[in-house]
Amino acid sequence: MTPDQILAFVLALTSSPPAESAFPVIAAGGADSRYPVTSAPCPRPLAPFEIEGQTVACGSVSVFEDHAKPDGRRIPLTFMIFKSRSLAPAPDAVVHLHGGPGVGIVERVALTSTLFEGLRARRDLVAFDQRGVDTSAGGETRCLATLADHAGDLVQGLADAAKPGGEGARLPLDVTRACLDELAASGADLSKINTEQNARDVQAVMRALGYPVFNVYGISYGTKLGLEVMRTAPDGVRAVVLDSVAPPHIPTYDTLALPHAESIEAIFTLCNADAACAAAYPNLKERFWALFSRLSETPIATSAGKIDGNVLFMLLANRNAHKLKLQGLTGYIPRLVAELEQGVTTTFDAITQDKLPPRQTPETVLTGLSGLDANSLALAQTALRLAQQGQIQEEALKTVLERLEADRAAVAAGAGLVDAFEAALLAGAKALPSPQARLAFASDYLRLRTQTPTREALSGLIVRHFAGETQRQLDALAGLMTPQNLADTFARISADNRQLDYLLVEGFQTQMFVCQEDMDINSPAGAAAVSARLQAEYLWPPEATKILEDFVNGFYASCELFPKHLRPGFHEPVTADIPTLVFAGLLDTQTAASWGPETARHLPRGQAIVLPETGHGALAFSQCARDLGVAFIENPTVALDTSCVAGLTPSFALPEAKPDAKPAAQPASAASEVAQ
């Protein structure tokens, strides 16, 4: 930002709100009387340089639980709007459809702002939590009593998942059963939590917010929802981007292992297409899987731990995680395989020590400079150092402005008293005399979410679990609370238990969609057939397919508990005549790269782009993907210049002439393994 922009931002943040709302449609209660709009504070933290009420606004839209029955029950959907950076924005906003199902977006307000910044140059951006999910999960899909009753089991599940070798936290069958029973007793209609109703929600939200013509950008499950919008509720849809597509006609859960298989297979395909790589590493596919099996039986012992088949597999899978910044690692995999075959860990060590793939820094740039005279070299060094200092200062500026925005929001909400009560409550809970007493408090604390935020409810909690000075201190703080303080305190219960909440809420809400509407094309037999295909076609050994097959079968066991609400035609390919861009990433381990072209071939105006060195959610991995998305939305009927895609193709590291690392020691015996 320029100094003038920074000054304007600070003045706007610290001054009184403008008399006229920057979001007049929200201020007026919505643009469509069928779907009333209510404003609400945005979750914190906001992204740097966002100002609530000026650049971003949040709230809820009231929609029909069943869009075929407008006189029936209603449910609220939480949303956020990011204003375009343009003073003359295009009228057709972009609505982002998040993934999952069962993972919301509104509480990720800062991440959303960052990822979609390019689209805001010309258009407003809208995002909302889908029905039954996260902040849009009201009493109809939140098993609050179940969470409180099973807090101990769920905490233990999180602890087990965090252990080395843990397979991830799973939702026990008895918890799923209890959650279904709780919702049935509440009168909730789970049959209306489905992709078709979601698609009609998209129309409702966009019309309520004043965008009768709009564009869609869906990621993961959001692509399935985007396709359903194109089929079921296409009115006003101008253009669609489907990023990391999960089409409804693919049995996604039977084929859960296929994205992993294609991601690994892409390494062999790219190497074979590179003459130098093919010559240096012949038969790479067979060698990789032979190495996997050998490491599974006899791991390589190193000072940093064992290298077994699972470690090798996860190293490749983690290229899909953009936060780990392992893009660029593909080019080193063939050399890694060749070295590990010999027990050499040079490349593996460099990866685990974050030396590979190489990061672009002033130091690495300076090391590569050549052919410059002394004056030119000095000027280049000075320019790079100044750039480095400028980056440090920019990060510091962002941190200061984020803190300023957060402090202003906290003061406005009167958070000081809430913080003091929460700190005292936590200290008192930690001082309880036994694990049983602490668990009883935790369960009681979680049950507050089912109650109206009142001083009496807090006092009841305090009296039941504390005595003496702790009780008097907590009572005094509770007595000072305003109604807003009480509401904030009760809201903290969810915020403080986010990880525990996600285990129940995210797991159950995913099942809620999938188990009700997808089990006619997914089954244990289908998953077993996919495993057989991977072993025959992709050379996967049985120990590799078994891990994912066990996970899928556990998921299907939970699905047996759910009623089925299958819809004729839902699993037919979508053939809507709407301009559509489909992104697929060769590193994606959640949605197979082949599903992108497969989806596009059914769409009369669809085009697919497969991006190398790109994982799940293409726009998070490269400027190339972000620019292509922006260019398509701007002119969806014009052919895209896709030349930037070729620049993402990895180059392969050839064998080192003289490896500078000694072969790693092999375990001598089972006894030495135990001793370690």
**pLDDT value, residue 664:** 46
Query: Structure tokens of 592?
Result: 């197979």
Q: Is 209:126 a contact under the CB 8 Å cutoff?
A: yes
Tell me how far apart the alpha carbons of residues 347 and 336 are, in angstroms, rounded to a whole number: 6
The more confident residue out of 546 and 152 is: 546
**pLDDT value, residue 314:** 94
Please determine, for residue 361, whether its predicted confidence score (pLDDT) is greater than 80.
no
β-strand partners of 609? 583
Count of alpha carbons within 13 angstroms of residue 168, beta-carbon side: 12
Mean pLDDT of 413-424: 78
Most confident of 221-235, 444-458, 472-486: 221-235
Tell me how far apart the alpha carbons of residues 1 and 590 are, in angstroms, rounded to a whole number: 36
Look up residue 354 and give its amino acid: D
Confidence of residue 408 (pLDDT cuts 50, 70, 90): low
**pLDDT value, residue 665:** 44
Confidence of residue 142 (pLDDT cuts 50, 70, 90): confident
pLDDT digits (tens, 9 = 90+) for 511-526: 999 999 999 999 999 9
Name the CA dihedral angle for 444, 445, 450, 452, rounded to a multiple of 10 degrees. Answer: 120
Q: Is 640:241 a contact under the CB 8 Å cutoff?
A: no
**pLDDT value, residue 149:** 85
Tell me how far apart the alpha carbons of residues 494 and 466 are, in angstroms, rounded to a whole number: 22
Please determine, for residue 660, whether its predicted confidence score (pLDDT) is greater than 60.
no
Percent of the chain with pLDDT over 90: 58
Confidence of residue 375 (pLDDT cuts 50, 70, 90): confident
β-strand partners of 611? 585
Grouping H, G, I as helix, E, B as strand and the rest as coil, residue 638 is: coil
**pLDDT value, residue 19:** 42
Please determine, for residue 594, whether its predicted confidence score (pLDDT) is greater than 70.
yes
Query: Structure tokens of 170?
Result: 């799973």
Mean pLDDT of 16-38: 85
**pLDDT value, residue 470:** 93
Contacts of residue 294, defined as CB under 8 A and 6 or more positions apart, other chains included, come to none
Please determine, for residue 155, whether its predicted confidence score (pLDDT) is greater than 70.
no
Query: Structure tokens of 1?
Result: 């930002």
Mean pLDDT of 654-661: 66
Query: Structure tokens of 93?
Result: 């906003």
pLDDT digits (tens, 9 = 90+) for 173-207: 888 899 899 888 888 889 999 999 999 999 999 99
Task: Identify the weakest region by mean pLDDT among 112-121, 383-392, 407-416.
Answer: 407-416
Most confident of 105-114, 137-146, 394-403, 515-524: 515-524
Burial, 321: exposed, middle or buried (Cβ in 10 Å; 0-12, 13-18, 19+)?
Answer: middle
**pLDDT value, residue 430:** 86
Query: Structure tokens of 25?
Result: 């449609």
Within 10 angstroms of residue 360's Cβ, the number of other Cβ atoms is: 7
Peptide bond into 45 cis (omega under 30): yes
Mean pLDDT of 66-72: 95
Q: pTM (2 decimals)?
A: 0.85
Confidence of residue 162 (pLDDT cuts 50, 70, 90): low
Within 10 angstroms of residue 675's Cβ, the number of other Cβ atoms is: 8
DSSP per-residue codes, 243-309: EEE--TTS-TTTTTTHHHHHHHHHHHHHHHHSHHHHHHSTTHHHHHHHHHHHHHHSPEEETTEEE-H
Please determine, for residue 394, whether its predicted confidence score (pLDDT) is greater than 90.
no
**pLDDT value, residue 9:** 55
pLDDT digits (tens, 9 = 90+) for 558-583: 999 999 999 999 999 999 999 999 99
**pLDDT value, residue 670:** 28
Tell me how far apart the alpha carbons of residues 92 and 162 are, in angstroms, rounded to a whole number: 44
Please determine, for residue 667, whether its predicted confidence score (pLDDT) is greater than 70.
no
Look up residue 429 and give its amino acid: A
pLDDT digits (tens, 9 = 90+) for 595-636: 999 999 999 999 999 999 999 999 999 999 999 999 999 999
DSSP 52: B
Tell me how far apart the alpha carbons of residues 136 and 264 are, in angstroms, rounded to a whole number: 37
Confidence of residue 359 (pLDDT cuts 50, 70, 90): confident
Tell me how far apart the alpha carbons of residues 539 and 265 are, in angstroms, rounded to a whole number: 10
Mean pLDDT, the chain, whole residue set: 86
